Amino acid sequence: MAENYPDRLVFQVSNEEVTLPEAETDKIIFEFSGKQYLKYIGWKQKVEKRIAIQELETGKRFFDGEKLSQNKL
């Protein structure tokens, strides 16, 4: 299990810890193709739709369970 480093960003990769140098702890950059981006957007929209449906059915916000007002519903 990865230890807690307050000034470093630490990832657990398989059984190996990867610690980023302090100068790089405030950024992570991902590169992916346009096709991968479109797949991500489609996935995100499906997830958002499922969350919205669940919130409408339960009357509660998904991420914290707080009851939604009638205006928000």
pLDDT-derived band at 48 (thresholds 50, 70, 90) equals very high
Whether residue 61 is predicted with pLDDT greater than 60 in this model: the reply is: yes
Residue 26: in which H helix or E strand, if any?
Answer: none
| Cα-based distances in Å from 8 to 28, 31, 70 | 13, 22, 43
Reported as a single tens digit per residue, the pLDDT across 4-47 is: 556 665 555 566 666 666 666 667 777 888 889 999 999 999 99
Sequence-distant (6+) residues with CB within 8 A of 63 are none
For the whole prediction, is pTM greater than 0.85?
A: no
Check residue 50 and give its pLDDT: 93
Q: Do 43 and 52 touch, CB atoms closer than 8 A?
A: no
